Structure 1
Amino acid sequence: MALPRTHGAGAGAAIAAPAGRPQPPRRRSPALKAAFPYLLVAPAMLYLLAITLYPGLFAIYQSLFVVKFVNWTFTGLGNYSRILQDREFWAALGNTAIIGGLSLAIQTTVALAIAYFAYRDPFIRGWRIVFTLPMLFMPSAVAFLWKLAFNDGRVISDLLMRLGLVDGNVDWLASIWLSRLILIVADVWQWTPFLFIIFVAALQGQDQEIEEAARLDGASWPAIFWNVSLPMMRPIIVVAVTLRGIDITTMFTNVYIMTQGSPGGATETMSYFIYRQGFRMFNFGYASAASVLMLAMTVLVAQTVVKRAFRSGRS
């Protein structure tokens, strides 16, 4: 009896295909495994270097020249020598320290107070989102808003007259301290929520057992906040205030829109001084030297403050 024929190609393929062993996975070299995380973050690092390192190096290079549009004349450290003898530079630096220091002190105090009540009081806790709204506005819109309230619309003057505190309209730009005050008010109103968010998060992240132990010992909530919470928050407060202080040194929008540095340069900050030198007087090399000096001073002060705060915290 003849056996049935099978399809030739199929039979041949079935016979020719042996049961092969699975190939072991290909292993990466140790060097590639070590470099793989860096390759993942390389595009972001290149982007950050392109937008931060290159402008900084270019500013340092430009500060060594007297630049008038396309005419570059090498002067070495001449711009730095001139700027250290410039009274307007030191006046702008002093204005930045006064306005920024007062604004930062008020912001820190108000943010800590609001954070304390928002952390403890259930009613205020439900309205925490309201305290963050000013930070969502554009700085230019905030500057125009407060310019309208103080100068153009005279809203604040009218309110003070209705309360019987003044007899007539107040010229806020006629006085050195009143002109500085309107810059401080605008900055405090917008950026206090930045510190408030950080302080509330720091309070919520603390160990609740320590506070409960202090409460069981009879300590009141203000005493717990002052003697327990604040010392535990110290590193976070230092970092937050340092970041905010660095940002205050670049105050420009409020000055440009609200005061233009008046009266008599009493509200001219370092950022506005650099802008005026570079884009109004076209001393680009001089403006670059001022920006390099300001950057060096900011980094030195910030590093000193943070290092001392953490060193004293360890001791």
Structure 2
Amino acid sequence: MRAAFPYLLVAPALIYLLAITLYPGVFAIYQSMFVVTFKAWNWAGLTNYTTLLADREFWQALTNTAIIGGISLVIQTVIALTISYFAYRDPFIRGWRITYLMPMLFMPSAVAFLWKLAFNDGRVISDLLMRLHITDGNVDWLGSIPLARLTLIVADVWQWTPFLFIIFVAALQGQDQEIEEAARLDGASWPAIFWNISLPMMRPVIVVAVTLRGIDITTMFTNVYIMTQGSPGGATETMSYFIYRQGFRMFNFGYASAASVLMLTLTIIVAQTVVKRAFHSGKN
């Protein structure tokens, strides 16, 4: 009984985690095998999957997710590394670190409404560009594919760059100070120390942080739902919004479940490949 006591203590938490993670996944896989209506489930086998792989809208949503998420992730990583470098070195910037974290504390829906007001409804950005004589009139941010995607990228970068920043700063602070001091005594400048010593030492942390953020970006929904609704012409429809539209607007619940399963599988494969290659190459 004493040997089983620790397992009994963690059993409630384990059961809860399985209930909110394992069960929905298994249910989604099961549901994807049916053509689901409100009152009837008709067996479809792999029909939903084969139809999905031939669906142009599915591939467009997947491409949109990769483009918007990829550009946003690169920008976030570069900005977070830059700010973390200065916040780690400069006492003045270090004193304002809490300010850099504030965007992450806002609700995603509030951030989306804020940027929708700035870009579209309130024309704040357009007025600013006109005052700077960059544009001659109001900009239709949803009138072209690049501009519509840019609105989503800006909103995502503004809110979630702090997530990477706080991880990178913690990684810098956790490094062995003696190595940096030895390099500094040898005459190396701070930028050279960061590029040649700190950055390689941060590589495992960077890979994990960017992978986690990349996984989260694949679920981008709130900004799309509030700011663009997938326009123009589906150019900003991400996979999450595609699944939402199929399930809760077109009521193709089995089809939406199949899309969810495929997206989850693809995300796991990509994330596992990136992490495995990064850590394997780091051993060589």
Considering the TM-score relative to the shorter chain, is it more than 0.5?
Answer: yes
CA deviation digits over 1:227-252, x for unaligned, max 9? 00000000000000000000000000
Residue matched to 1:305: 274
Q: Does 1:239 align with 2:192?
A: no
- Taking the aligned partners of 1:252 and 1:203, their CA distance within structure 2 comes to 32
How big is the shift at 1:68?
1.1
Counterpart-to-counterpart distance in 2, 1:196 and 1:33: 45
Match of 2:240 in 1: 271
* Corresponding residue for residue 154 of structure 1: 123
Give 1:41 deviation, angstroms.
1.1
2:58 aligns with 89
TM-superposed CA distance for 1:33, in Å, is: 3.9
Q: What SS class does the counterpart of residue 66 from structure 1 fall into?
A: strand
Is residue 2:26 matched to residue 1:57? Answer: yes
The aligned residue for residue 169 of structure 1 is: 138
RMSD: 0.6
Indicate which of 69, 83, 90 corresponds to 1:114: 83
- How far apart, CA to CA, are the structure 1 residues paired with 2:185 and 2:251? 67
Question: Which consecutive unaligned segments of at least 5 residues does structure 1 have?
Answer: 1-31
2:197 matched to which residue of 1? 228
Runs of 4+ residues deviating >4 angstroms:
none
**Aligned counterpart for 2:73 among listed residues 101, 104, 125:** 104
- Between the aligned partners of 2:189 and 2:90, the Cα distance in structure 1 is 14
In 1, Cα distance between the equivalents of 2:186 and 2:10?
51
- Summarize the alignment of residues 251-270 of structure 1 with structure 2, pairs less than 5 Å apart: 251-270=220-239
CA distance in 1: counterparts of 2:272 and 2:24, whole angstroms = 22
How far apart, in 2, do the equivalents of 1:240 and 1:37 lie?
32
Partner residue of 1:13? none
**2:98 is the alignment partner of 1:132:** no
**Residue 212, structure 1, aligned to residue 181, structure 2:** yes
The percent identity for this pair of structures is 84
- Distance (whole Å) between structure 2 residues aligned to residue 233 and residue 51 of structure 1: 33
Distance 2:88 2:5 in 1: 43
Deviations 1:194-226 (A, max 9, x none): 000000000000000000000011100000000
The reply on whether 1:74 has 2:43 as its aligned counterpart is yes
Q: How far apart, CA to CA, are the structure 1 residues paired with 2:42 and 2:13?
A: 36
**1:5-31, CA deviations, whole angstroms, 9 ceiling, x for partnerless residues?**
xxxxxxxxxxxxxxxxxxxxxxxxxxx
Distance 1:297 1:81 in 2: 16
Task: Measure how far apart 1:131 and its partner are.
Answer: 0.1
From 127, 135, 142, give the equivalent of 2:111: 142
Structure 2 distance, partners of 1:117, 1:34, is 51
Which letter does structure 2 place at the counterpart of 1:266?
Answer: A
Q: TM-score, normalised by structure 2?
A: 0.99
| Higher Rg of the two aligned structures | 1
- Superposed displacement of residue 70, structure 1: 1.3
Matched with 2:257 is 288
Unmatched runs of 5 consecutive residues or more in structure 2: none
- Give the C-alpha shift of residue 121 in structure 1: 0.1
2:202 aligned counterpart, secondary structure: helix
The CA distance in 2 between the partners of 1:294 and 1:85, in whole Å, is 15
Q: Structure 1 residues 37-46 or 196-205, which shifts more?
A: 37-46
Q: Measure the CA separation in 2 of the matches of 1:44 and 1:101.
A: 35
Cross-structure match for 2:172:
203
Letter in 2 for 1:185: V
What is the rounded CA distance, in whole Å, between the counterparts of 1:57 and 1:127 in structure 2? 45
